Structure 1
Amino acid sequence: MIDLTVDVEQYDCPFVAATDDHPVAFSAVHWEYDTAADRTETRMVVEAADRESLDAGLSVLRGHEGTADYQLLSRRNDVAHIRTVIGQTDAMRIIREEDGFITGPSFIEDGSELWRIGFDDRETEEEVLSRLDRNHEFDVVKRNAPDLPELTDFVQNVGAAMTLIEGCRDLSDVERKTLESAIDGGYFQSPRSATLGSLADEFDVSKPAVSKNLRRGQRKMIERVVNALDELEG
């Protein structure tokens, strides 16, 4: 198996059009391709520079001719969770016709899209890239051809990786920002560059409050790490 990370400009993609016009970014949470209808259903997290940019980007997406269906699932300030159904783009058609397949979630920003594309052999890879080169601008950011033991190890340990990711999502905004500042400031180094006092001043809270946020964040992450270790051993 060959795995490529490709940065491609899809001129007919609704998401690319939205990010080309406005400072928004789309991260795929889930996608499912309907072979009968040649459409892809996606659930995306949308992040924008501000509320106005989010409104403008979503407006472009809703009104694009390639968008067959759009639903706003939730929204908070300049971040939204959406469901869409989009028609098959030219690049996706080429990949599917040549028996390529998507191996990871996409990320769209600044008018281009990061894709992870898989191929069974080198000939298929070369044919897809050759056809894409005729009508699309793209760069191969990374190429990886794992051997079977590496691939097996990756598949078997996906559960452990997801456990760690879920631990990050469990953190509140305050806990995450406090941990990030503590790490960046050298709180966990010896000797310490940051102290509870400096962190309390940074967040304009008391020392007990910042200590409580640190302990909560550390406990959540350590519990997930222990669970992930158990999964790896299993």
Structure 2
Amino acid sequence: MNVVVELRLPICDFALGELFSIRPDIRIELERIVPTGEQTMPFFWIIGDDPASVADVTVTDSLVDSIETLGETENGVLCRTKWSADGGIHNILTEQGATLLHAEGNRDGWLFRVRFPDHETTTRFREACDDASISYEVRRIYSFSNLPIQQYDLTEEQREALVTALESGYFRVPREASLSEIAETLDISPQAASGRLRRGLERVLDSTLFPPEEPSGVSEGS
């Protein structure tokens, strides 16, 4: 059963944290990864005022061989990292077959949201991090089967569509997945995927923004 874990790491426990000592005002977002057995987390965004000046900095951490600037947008600078050695949390995630759903950092630390194949994998991940002296705090842990759907009156299909879109980065800026890609993952047409997303979002927003009123406890005719 898939397990999602949200982790908080100190700046120093991920190699790119050195960039915050140079520019504490920036924010870094790592591109989502799926385990492939190849190098992981090579792409990340630097977001802030004049982010290109940070991308040109040489990082002295032994895990980072180089940082290359790939391009600039109004949202920041896209960079590619070349890791120089095995080790670090990025390699541990790959070894455990985990999927990085979201990761971002600022001068206060790193936040990772990771999906593991099962609870046994999370145990092996913790043991590997202990061996590598990587510290982290677990903020939240849950399985997809425990995600509330009755609270929002979602159907299983709507929840599946929303989870797939969220994991794929469909709602992120810049968007990391197209509607066609979401539809292909769900094995439905783009029109059907769009409908599930719209209806699912409508129900979530309706339940969140307009929750049912608490009963007053006073019956009619009192």
Q: Normalised by the shorter chain, which TM-score bucket?
A: 0.5 to 0.7
Are positions 1:19 and 2:17 aligned together? no
Change beyond 3 A, Cα 1:41–1:68: farther
Report the counterpart of residue 105 of structure 1 in structure 2. 102
Are positions 1:157 and 2:159 aligned together? no
**Deviation for aligned residue 1:137:** 2.2
Structure 2: which amino acid aligns with 1:125? T
Structure 2: which amino acid aligns with 1:119? F
The structure richer in strand per residue is 1
What does 1:71-110 align with in structure 2 at a 5 Å threshold? 71-75=68-72, 79-87=76-84, 88-97=86-95, 99-110=96-107
Is the radius of gyration larger for structure 1 or structure 2? 1
Maintained 8 Å contact 2:42/2:82: yes
Query: 1:30, 1:131 → 2: CA distance?
Result: 21
Are positions 1:55 and 2:53 aligned together? yes
Query: 1:95, 1:142 → 2: CA distance?
Result: 17
Change beyond 3 A, Cα 1:228–1:57: same
**Deviation for aligned residue 1:108:** 1.9
Maintained 8 Å contact 2:158/2:196: no
Report the counterpart of residue 189 of structure 1 in structure 2. none
Maintained 8 Å contact 1:31/1:40: yes
Are positions 1:66 and 2:73 aligned together? no
Structure 2: which amino acid aligns with 1:15? L
The root-mean-square deviation of aligned C-alpha atoms, in Å, is 4.1
Report the counterpart of residue 122 of structure 1 in structure 2. 119
Out of 122, 142, 145, the residue aligned to residue 144 of structure 1 is 142
Structure 2: which amino acid aligns with 1:35? G
Maintained 8 Å contact 1:13/1:89: no
Change beyond 3 A, Cα 1:4–1:156: same
Report the counterpart of residue 211 of structure 2 in structure 1. none
Partner SS state of residue 126, structure 2:
helix
Query: 2:32, 2:103 → 1: CA distance?
Result: 10
Structure 1 residue runs of 5 or longer lacking an equivalent are 171-225
Query: 1:70, 1:32 → 2: CA distance?
Result: 21
TM-score, normalising length from structure 2? 0.57
Maintained 8 Å contact 1:14/1:64: yes
Query: 2:170, 2:88 → 1: CA distance?
Result: 36
Maintained 8 Å contact 2:30/2:103: yes
Q: 1:90-141 CA deviation, whole Å, 9 max, x = no partner? A: 32343444x2402402112226322122223323323322442451221111
Query: 1:67, 1:30 → 2: CA distance?
Result: 19
Maintained 8 Å contact 2:35/2:97: no
Change beyond 3 A, Cα 1:122–1:17: same
Partner SS state of residue 40, structure 1:
coil
Query: 1:95, 1:86 → 2: CA distance?
Result: 15
Number of matched pairs: 172
Q: 1:140-186 CA deviation, whole Å, 9 max, x = no partner? A: 111111218978654433576689737x769xxxxxxxxxxxxxxxx
Change beyond 3 A, Cα 1:67–1:93: closer
Maintained 8 Å contact 1:18/1:58: no
Maintained 8 Å contact 2:98/2:116: yes
Percent identical pairs in the alignment equals: 13
TM-score, normalising length from structure 1? 0.54
Are positions 1:230 and 2:195 aligned together? yes
The structure richer in helix per residue is 1
Structure 2 residue runs of 5 or longer lacking an equivalent are 150-155, 176-190, 201-222
